[in-house]
């Protein structure tokens, strides 16, 4: 099953953000169509060890423009209306040099697959 998941992955971008990691993955269907998955992965600890809690969103081509429009509008509202004095760039650092866009080969692997 893991091999099939890697085989249909076309592009991947990892964003480390504190205790979270976000993955933006473009995947191909059997019919050579494409869709985007956005995954939030957080390391959790239990008495018997750790595991990764994941939340995933699937975006299909017909929804991309609506999603990006709503995201941009929402982010602009937060930045301009709710937090106009906050320095959003203070934590800005590029992960690009350390983690270039790649296939799943450069991603961390947790006990239940990629994180």
Name the maximum alpha-carbon separation found in the chain.
Answer: 48
pLDDT digits (tens, 9 = 90+) for 21-70: 999 999 999 998 999 999 999 988 877 777 889 999 999 999 999 999 99
Over residues 90-101, mean pLDDT: 57
User: What residues make up the domain containing 66?
Assistant: 2-114
36 neighbors 64 (Cβ within 8 angstroms): yes
Count of the separate structural domains present in the chain? 1
3-class secondary-structure state, position 37: strand
Structure tokens at 34: 């494409």
The CATH number given to whatever domain includes residue 26 is: 3.10.450.700
Residue 75 has pLDDT above 90, yes or no: yes
């Amino acid at each position: 099953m893991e091999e099939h998941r890697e085989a249909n992955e076309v592009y991947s971008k990892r964003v480390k953000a504190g205790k979270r990691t976000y993955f933006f993955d473009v995947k191909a269907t059997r019919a050579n169509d494409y869709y985007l998955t956005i995954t939030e992965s957080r390391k959790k600890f239990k008495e018997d060890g750790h595991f990764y809690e994941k939340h995933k969103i699937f975006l299909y081509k017909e929804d991309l423009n609506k999603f990006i429009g709503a995201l941009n509008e929402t982010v602009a509202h937060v930045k301009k209306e709710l937090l106009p004095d906050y320095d959003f760039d203070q934590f800005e650092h590029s992960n690009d040099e350390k983690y270039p866009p790649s296939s799943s080969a450069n991603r961390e692997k947790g006990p239940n697959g990629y994180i």
